[in-house]
Amino acid sequence: MTSTPHSTEAPRAPDIDGIPSQLAPSIPPATTSPDPVATADDIDAEPQNELTTKFSSAEWGALRTFRSQLPLIFSEAFPDNPDAGSSSYTMWGVTIDPAHPKDARVSIVLMKFLRARNLNPAEAKDMFISTLRWRQSFDVEGAMKEKFPEDIFGKLGKIYGKDNQGHPVSYNLYGANKNLSAVFGDVQRFLRWRVAFMEQTIALLDFETVDQVVQIHDYEGVSMSSRTENSKNAASEASSIFQSHYPEFLARKFFVNVPSFLTWIFWFFKPFLSAATLAKMTVVGHGSRTIGAALLPTIPEDELPRRYGGSAEDF
């Protein structure tokens, strides 16, 4: 079945080399009257895991409203399927059954959309529908099965170790392949690889004790000449995809080995970022000692490669 995706993405600042779109603030959508908070009895009746026990009563109230709309959400997301409203759908390894939606892991997935939209069920619904349509049109499952050339993409992304709280750590190595025409010559292929890499990282989450990742963005080897038209388009599209369709997956993000000609961008956008967003992001200089001083409070030494100040084997 074919459906046309639509975006609920909030306006973003212009993309330059992929960095502003990662840092630029999302403009919060307009909010409506909040849903009633859940009572203690309501919460006690819910399936729980370690992550759901941290929900507030307001979050439980919004979740109950949001969850009740799942049959309508699936029907609107997949209009060509007359049974969509009663059919299960699996994303990120979690099966969502609209007829029996009470499940702790399902609650974690749905809460990501609610938190991304300030606990507004109506706006979370729009975002979720957009994501379901996008996953179908992009063919995420197909991207995950695709074989990408190892000599082109093999060094660009690594998943290595965990932080102190068990979050998997992914590394995006922007300067690892100097053949930019090979990496970005086919922008859509790059995006399929990048989405597949994100999905591989998410596959390590259990949605019971861990539902977020730590990202290290390494700009070693990036220069002004790296800013080709295709690379900028790819960075902009990737940022749009992750902002619109992968909500609340970030535990921490570190930008390391950032060239001086790009550092000003971070400082320019800093006043526009919320305190919660800023708390998750750190810009670090060059050298293993400097990088290690920033990363080691979050990532154990034996889980951090030596090139970043740890004692683990380099990848």
Neighbours of 52 (CB within 10 A): 22
Q: Provide, for the chain, the percentages of residues in helix, strand and coil under a 3-state DSSP scheme, each rounded to the nearest 5.
A: 50, 10, 40
Least confident of 142-151, 266-275, 304-313: 266-275
Q: Are 13 and 271 in contact (CB under 8 A)?
A: no
**C-alpha closest to that of 177 among 161, 154, 160:** 154
> Mean pLDDT across the chain, nearest whole number?
87
260 phi and psi angles, rounded to 5 deg: -60, -30
151 & 294 share domain = yes
Least confident of 44-48, 132-136, 162-166, 265-269: 265-269
- pLDDT at residue 36, as a whole number: 63
Q: Find the CATH number of the domain harbouring 234.
A: 3.40.525.10
231 & 165 share domain = yes
* Domain of 209, in residue numbers: 145-308
Segment 112-128, tens digit of pLDDT: 999 999 999 999 999 99
User: Who contacts 260 (Cβ-Cβ below 8 Å, separation ≥6)?
Assistant: none
123 & 149 share domain = no
275 & 203 share domain = yes
Predicted TM-score of the model (pTM): 0.85
21 assigned to some structural domain = no
What's the number of domains the chain is made of? 2
4 assigned to some structural domain = no
81 & 198 share domain = no
Model confidence at 14: pLDDT above 50: no
263 & 178 share domain = yes
Count CA atoms within 13 Å of residue 240 on its CB side. 18
50 assigned to some structural domain = yes
285 & 150 share domain = yes
Model confidence at 38: pLDDT above 50: yes
DSSP state, residue 65: H
Question: How many Å apart are CA 311 and CA 304, to the nearest integer?
Answer: 6
Q: Which stretches of the chain are DSSP H helices?
A: 19-23, 40-44, 57-67, 70-77, 104-116, 121-138, 140-145, 150-153, 180-184, 187-202, 229-245, 260-269, 275-280, 288-295
185 & 230 share domain = yes
**C-alpha closest to that of 254 among 288, 222, 282:** 282
234 & 107 share domain = no
Segment 21-34, tens digit of pLDDT: 444 434 344 444 45
301 & 154 share domain = yes
72 & 201 share domain = no
202 & 298 share domain = yes
